Amino acid sequence: MQQQTLKQSISLQGQGLHSGCTSHLQILPAKADTGIIFRRVDLPHKPEIKALYYNVTDTRNCTCLSNEAGAVVSTIEHLMAALNIAGVDNAIIEVDNQELPIMDGSAQVFYKALCDAGLEAQYAERKLLKVLKEISFTDDKGNTASLLPVEHSGMSISFSIDFPSPIVGHQSFEGMITPRVFAEEIAPCRTFCEKSQVDYLQSIGLIKGGSLDNAVVLDGDNVLNPDGFRVPNECVNHKVLDAIGDMFTAGYRIQGRLVANKTGHLHNNILLRKLFENSSQYELL
Ligand SMILES: [Zn+2]
């Protein structure tokens, strides 16, 4: 399988979830072996930040990258998931803000734009990583994420969550991440939160751009969004979306199985750091 880039560039704009500022994105084709690079065009000298796990510097409310000079780009995970599954290996993403636009809180807009732009094969082999040994991380609450070897090609994910809102409760996802599964069951799934959490985050100056247009807001037994959920199990499927994006910061498409229980961006990043600690744990194909 050859590496691919976009046939043509893509322009998108929207609000940042936390800053509330409008940010403009240009996703540009890039030559083979570039990988995914963000470029902050609003900063002097337009610094570049490679979308790689060792540049992930904050995982509290999103996945945030920084370079050595301190240039930051945040909320990359939904676009990274769309790039991963659309089959884009090389792209330069110009952004004029610290934060990527949240769009509708899902990866749907990004994924459609990438598919519509079309892809071009390049003269280099796609970078694949096969997991050879189990890697696990358990946090201080006992929540565990693991990466396991598999016989099949591609990535499979088993994810479960237990959420206090009774309308969500226990949800689980299990399956291979194929383009069809991604397009139908994963990409449309939006960020979600409790109303009480929204009130708190707004009180400390975060999610200034948050609204029912870019998040599912839960309030006890109710979904405050007038149209409710987009797909059954939208909440756990959004966690799967985040994980697909975070795993692409490996710089390789991973052949393996992610098993995750109540985990998030922090766990995803620690798994990759642990994976790359020892080259006997993986094989580059
Ligand atoms: Zn997310």
State the pLDDT at residue 189: 98
CB 53 within 8 A of CB 269: yes
Active-site entry in 18, 78, 265, 267? 265
Are both 181 and 98 inside the same structural domain? no
> Residue 176, exposed/middle/buried by CB under 10 A (0-12, 13-18, 19+)?
middle
State the pLDDT at residue 11: 98
Confidence label for 200 from pLDDT (cuts 50, 70 and 90) = confident
Average pLDDT of every residue of the chain: 95
Q: How many CA atoms lie within 13 A of 97 on its CB side?
A: 22
Does residue 254 have a pLDDT over 90? yes
Q: How many domains does the chain have?
A: 2
- In the block, tokens 């690079």 appear at 37
Verify whether residue 18 is a known catalytic residue. Answer: no
- Non-local (6+) Cβ contacts of 112 within 8 A are none
What's 235's domain CATH number? Answer: 3.30.1700.10
Does residue 209 have a pLDDT over 90? no
Strand 91-95 with 36-40, pairing: parallel
The two tokens of residue 229 are 């959920």
Per this entry, what is the length of the chain? 285
Are both 100 and 237 inside the same structural domain? no
Q: For residues 21 and 5, which has the higher predicted lDDT (pLDDT)?
A: 5
What's the CA-to-centroid distance between 77 and ligand 1, angstroms? 6
Rounded distance, CA 258 to CA 156, Å?
Answer: 6
What's the CA-to-centroid distance between 146 and ligand 1, angstroms? 19
Predicted model pTM: 0.96
- Mean pLDDT on 72-80: 97
Are both 260 and 142 inside the same structural domain? yes
Chosen domain end from 125, 159, 180? 125
Does residue 99 have a pLDDT over 90? yes
Are both 11 and 99 inside the same structural domain? yes
Are both 189 and 275 inside the same structural domain? yes
Are both 41 and 182 inside the same structural domain? no
- Non-local (6+) Cβ contacts of 225 within 8 A are 212, 216, 217
What's the CA-to-centroid distance between 263 and ligand 1, angstroms? 12
Rounded distance, CA 222 to CA 274, Å?
Answer: 39
What's the CA-to-centroid distance between 79 and ligand 1, angstroms? 10
Rounded distance, CA 192 to CA 190, Å?
Answer: 6
- The residues with which 160 forms a beta bridge, in sequence order, are 172, 261
Domain holding 54, by residue range, is 2-125
Chosen domain end from 74, 101, 125? 125
Does residue 202 have a pLDDT over 90? no
Are both 133 and 118 inside the same structural domain? no
Cα 117–Cα 118–Cα 122 angle in degrees, nearest 5 = 125
Rounded distance, CA 168 to CA 233, Å?
Answer: 8
Are both 84 and 112 inside the same structural domain? yes
Are both 159 and 260 inside the same structural domain? yes
The two tokens of residue 98 are 């610290």
What's the CA-to-centroid distance between 265 and ligand 1, angstroms? 9
Are both 165 and 86 inside the same structural domain? no
Confidence label for 166 from pLDDT (cuts 50, 70 and 90) = confident
What's the CA-to-centroid distance between 242 and ligand 1, angstroms? 5
Rounded distance, CA 162 to CA 27, Å?
Answer: 36
> Residue 120, exposed/middle/buried by CB under 10 A (0-12, 13-18, 19+)?
middle
- Mean pLDDT on 226-236: 95
- Non-local (6+) Cβ contacts of 152 within 8 A are 176, 255
- Non-local (6+) Cβ contacts of 172 within 8 A are 158, 159, 160, 161, 233, 236
- Mean pLDDT on 70-82: 96
State the pLDDT at residue 271: 98
Are both 142 and 244 inside the same structural domain? yes
Confidence label for 25 from pLDDT (cuts 50, 70 and 90) = very high
What's 19's domain CATH number? Answer: 3.30.230.20
Chosen domain end from 125, 148, 175? 125
Confidence label for 87 from pLDDT (cuts 50, 70 and 90) = very high
Are both 93 and 133 inside the same structural domain? no
Range with the poorest average pLDDT among 18-27, 113-122, 173-182: 18-27
Does residue 197 have a pLDDT over 90? no
